[in-house]
């Protein structure tokens, strides 16, 4: 793509980087074939190619964002399927970060949008606040206030619909501490406890800790580490994202400097793993943190990357080839380029992973997208639940940890077991007590459905 940035604009390192990214785009249009919003809406401005053109105009001419530009940039899921498809290697991820930052700096959103985004940015990254908000939301639903709130704004209606039926109590595994290895010690890892995940599904971290300690790893949950910064980064609040990244980098770099060091930083949510692995880029301009950020980024590992290197010989038995619904998060398959590894781990655990008909297409969740763009998120999530991969003459769906609750409910309609986390399945098969129960308790969250006619878990008819 031809660019015409003024020389004084190119003196800004961020603008110079944007110019290099833009010049790689050749307008081939391959990205439109895998862009969920373009496939759904059919509007060129809602495709990566169209958005890149609008980003170019905004950055090149140093103009404030307009309502039209903001509307189409906001509709971008940030799934990065376009980066997987692009033959020219256009770095859409970092270009979109710059565009969102420009929007945040130059565009004044309507008051309801500002209030909603400010609320999410002040609640979700902080487990205590988020848990209190969920409890308040449950009370509001019991009082029937959800209907009134839903009538005010579609975003509030979506938020109330996503409210979980239960709010788990705080788990001991999310508190800062050291979990010593069992048996022969083979290494030391840090675990990101996370923010929203530790509130909604604390059993995931608990299962991961059990698996790792059982295989000889000391597991440390650092006191100072918190939200990865992805949520505010996706809103264009780059300085807040950098502040959260600096806090995590300082905490993990300090652990790495201790005797014994760190073998890895284990992340059980791919939406957090992608930005953490990019800390080196995010803090590249920070003289004090740049080297530490690159160290931390190099140590970050998705939990499936760690599980792949372990002896996962099962203790508990399962029916041979038991089908398990699986849907790879976009941040894992497109953001981190980890596609086949989780399925290989599942196969080693003795199950058969089944995916949706179009596993590369986003489920519509995308962090806060299903709250900020509820109508479009609902439309995008439909095909994943209604067009599952065929199995034994019947239908099967795919379920993965990053899916929103509506998607998990859609997959639950299939006669399959849906495990929310590969790590929890590994924990259960290794013999963890109570981990095989269905529902939200125990180490594995399982959705069980029997055929009404033959009572088999997976019916042939």
What's the CA gap between 457 and 78, in Å, rounded? 37
- CATH H superfamily, domain 7-106: Alpha-helical ferredoxin (1.10.1060.10)
Q: Quick check: helix, strand or coil at residue 190?
A: strand
What's the token pair of residue 387?
């067009």
Which has the closest alpha carbon to 252: 190, 294, 177, 173? 190
Per residue in 315-333, pLDDT tens?
666 777 778 888 888 999 9
Measured torsion, CA atoms of residues 14, 18, 19, 24, in degrees rounded to the nearest 10: 150
- CB contact at 8 A, 109 and 25: no
Q: In sequence order, which ranges of 76-143 are alpha helices (DSSP H)?
A: 81-85, 92-106, 111-123, 127-142
- CB contact at 8 A, 97 and 104: no
Q: Quick check: helix, strand or coil at residue 259?
A: coil
Which has the closest alpha carbon to 370: 362, 358, 378? 378
**In this predicted structure, what is the pLDDT of residue 432?**
61
CATH number of the structural domain 172-307: 3.40.50
- CB contact at 8 A, 51 and 73: yes
What's the CA gap between 106 and 82, in Å, rounded? 26
Per residue in 260-311, pLDDT tens?
899 999 999 889 999 999 999 999 999 999 999 999 999 999 999 999 998 8
Measured torsion, CA atoms of residues 359, 197, 244, 82, in degrees rounded to the nearest 10: 10
**In this predicted structure, what is the pLDDT of residue 425?**
67
- CB contact at 8 A, 334 and 347: no
**In this predicted structure, what is the pLDDT of residue 388?**
44
What's the token pair of residue 332?
């894992």
What's the CA gap between 379 and 449, in Å, rounded? 26
Report the relative pairing of strands 264-267 and 300-302 from DSSP bridges.
parallel
**In this predicted structure, what is the pLDDT of residue 403?**
40
Q: How crowded is residue 66: how many other Cβ atoms within 10 Å of its Cβ?
A: 14
- CB contact at 8 A, 59 and 99: yes
**Residue length of the chain:** 461
pTM of the model: 0.83
- CB contact at 8 A, 79 and 366: yes
Handedness of CA 285, 289, 291, 297 (dihedral sign): negative
**In this predicted structure, what is the pLDDT of residue 140?**
81
**In this predicted structure, what is the pLDDT of residue 421?**
56
The alpha carbons of the chain give a radius of gyration, in whole angstroms, of 22
**DSSP symbols for 18-62:** HHHHHHH-----GGGGT-HHHHHH--GGGSHHHHHHHHHHHHHTT
Instruction: Sketch the domain layout of the chain as residue ranges.
Output: 7-106, 111-161, 172-307, 322-429
Mean pLDDT by 10 residues, the chain (461 residues): 89 93 94 94 94 94 93 95 95 96 95 92 91 86 77 78 80 82 92 88 87 93 92 94 97 93 93 95 95 97 92 72 82 92 87 84 84 86 48 32 40 36 64 45 35 40 29
**In this predicted structure, what is the pLDDT of residue 427?**
67
**In this predicted structure, what is the pLDDT of residue 225?**
92
What's the CA gap between 444 and 437, in Å, rounded? 7
- CB contact at 8 A, 315 and 436: no
Which has the closest alpha carbon to 237: 401, 404, 359, 114? 114
Which has the closest alpha carbon to 369: 75, 104, 42? 75
What's the CA gap between 411 and 431, in Å, rounded? 26
């Amino acid at each position: 793509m031809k660019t015409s940035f003024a020389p004084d604009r190119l003196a800004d390192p961020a603008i110079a980087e944007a110019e290099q990214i833009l010049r790689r785009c050749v307008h081939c249009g391959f990205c439109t074939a895998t862009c969920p919003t373009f496939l759904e809406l059919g509007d060129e401005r809602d495709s990566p190619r169209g958005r890149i053109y609008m980003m170019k105009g905004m950055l090149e001419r140093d103009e404030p964002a307009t309502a039209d530009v903001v509307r189409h940039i906001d509709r971008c899921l940030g799934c990065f399927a376009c980066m997987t498809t692009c033959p020219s290697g256009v770095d859409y991820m970092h270009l979109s970060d710059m565009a969102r930052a420009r929007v945040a700096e130059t565009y004044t959103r309507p008051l309801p949008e500002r209030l909603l985004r400010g609320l999410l940015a002040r609640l979700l990254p902080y487990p205590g606040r988020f848990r209190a908000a969920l409890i308040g939301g449950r009370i509001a639903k019991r009082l029937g206030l959800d209907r009134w709130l839903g009538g005010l704004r579609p975003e509030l209606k979506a938020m109330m619909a996503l409210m979980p039926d239960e709010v788990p109590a705080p788990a001991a595994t999310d508190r800062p501490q050291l979990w010593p290895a069992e048996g022969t010690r083979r290494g030391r890892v840090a675990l990101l406890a996370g923010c929203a995940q530790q509130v909604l599904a604390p059993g995931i971290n608990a299962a991961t800790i059990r698996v790792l300690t059982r295989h000889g790893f000391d597991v440390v949950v650092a006191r100072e580490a918190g939200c990865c910064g992805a949520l505010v980064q996706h809103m264009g609040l780059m300085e807040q994202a950098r502040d959260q990244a600096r806090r995590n980098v300082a905490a993990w770099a300090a652990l790495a400097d201790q005797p014994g060091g760190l073998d890895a930083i284990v992340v059980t949510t791919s939406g957090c793993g992608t930005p953490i692995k990019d800390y080196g880029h995010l803090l590249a301009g920070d003289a004090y943190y740049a080297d530490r950020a690159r160290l931390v980024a190099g140590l970050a590992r998705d939990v499936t990357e760690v599980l792949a290197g372990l002896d996962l010989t099962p203790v508990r038995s399962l029916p041979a080839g038991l089908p398990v619904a699986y849907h790879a998060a976009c941040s894992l398959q497109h953001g981190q380029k980890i596609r086949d590894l989780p399925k290989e781990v599942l196969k080693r655990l003795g199950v058969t992973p089944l995916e949706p008909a179009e596993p590369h297409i986003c489920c519509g969740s995308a962090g806060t997208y299903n709250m900020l763009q509820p109508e479009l998120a609902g439309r995008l999530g439909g095909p994943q639940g209604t067009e599952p991969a065929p199995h034994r003459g019947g239908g099967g769906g795919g379920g993965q940890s990053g899916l929103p609750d509506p998607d998990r409910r859609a997959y639950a309609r299939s006669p399959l077991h849906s495990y929310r986390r590969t790590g929890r399945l590994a924990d259960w098969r290794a013999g963890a007590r109570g981990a095989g129960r269905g529902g939200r308790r125990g180490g594995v969250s399982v959705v069980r459905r029997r055929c009404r006619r033959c009572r088999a878990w997976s019916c042939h008819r």
